Amino acid sequence: MTAHDWLEKAKKENFAIPALNAGNLETIKGIVAAAVEAKSPVIIETSTGETKWMEAENVLCICRNFSDKYKIPIIVNLDHAYTYEDTRPGFEAGYDLIHFDGSKLPYEENIEVCKRIVPEAHGKGQMVEGEIDKILGSGSEVHTGETVDPAVIESGKSHPETAAKFVAETGVDIFASFFGNVHGIYPGYTPQLDIDLLKAVGQAIPNTFLSMHGSSGTPDDQVRAAVAADVVKVNVNTEIRLAYRESLEKALVEHKEIAMYKVFPGVVEEVKKEALRWINLCGSGGKI
């Protein structure tokens, strides 16, 4: 099955596929272990920074190797490419999905770049995710000491009419919808998702898949509600990175070992646990 086939299956069967960021082998191993145990498809994605660090060809090769070995579907995604040039590594390596985030660009420029990317990607059997709205937060981090302005969240929410216009003009396969979700984690703040708005966006673009970014820190019941409202791709970065870093810091204190492969098993296990949690929230377990 292709990436499109899996997203179509998710939409029809009312589940989502967790899209989990990975910037090193250990994180990939943890995600794969979770997918194998849960019999779940997964999306392994790399940000532009992670892609530069790992190199796109290596990421794709590792994911394809694990997919073949364990007979699990792994969709490989380039996450948040902000320019046409940023999309090139994933495009040229053969990633399944290219996420072009043109939300920082003027609307017309965003359209122009999308119109360039979409036919190229479709020509190679790749899917494209587009983004136009400005989500609160920058990247994957814990925003300690920062406050959340409700007005900023409100102003960044998607508009069904604009979403329909954008999709019609660009032909993107997936639309990054914003309905109260935020990037990263704001200690003391609990996201409040506008599920009615999400449903309205979905009704405006019925033939386009919906993604949810900024899922970290969102209450479980709200994640499930978003999936029930036809989100088929749930992006998780911060909580995966936290699982990795916190477990690594603990392992380095507990072990005096300098052969790192002896230190990493516990780290991989913690990443696996976090990935399993998201597989459960997305309802993708047992779908293979």
Active site residues: 79
Q: Give the integer Cα–Cα distance in Å for 12 and 232.
A: 10
Q: What share of the chain is helix, strand, coil (3-state, %, to 5)?
A: 50, 15, 35
Question: What phi, psi does 85 have (nearest 5°)?
Answer: -65, -35
The residue written with tokens 């190797």 in the block is: 65
- CA angle centred on 245, ends 59 and 82, rounded to 5°: 50
Q: How far is CA 24 from CA 44, 110, 140, 169, 241, in A?
A: 11, 30, 16, 36, 11
Give 50's contacts (C-beta < 8 A, 6+ positions apart): 21, 22, 23, 59, 79
DSSP letter, residue 15: -
Tokens of 90: 């994933």
Q: Give the integer Cα–Cα distance in Å for 45 and 37.
A: 20
Buried b (16+ CB within 10 A) or exposed e, 251-263: beeeeeeeeeeeb
Q: Alpha carbon 88 to chain centroid distance?
A: 18
The residue written with tokens 């892609």 in the block is: 51
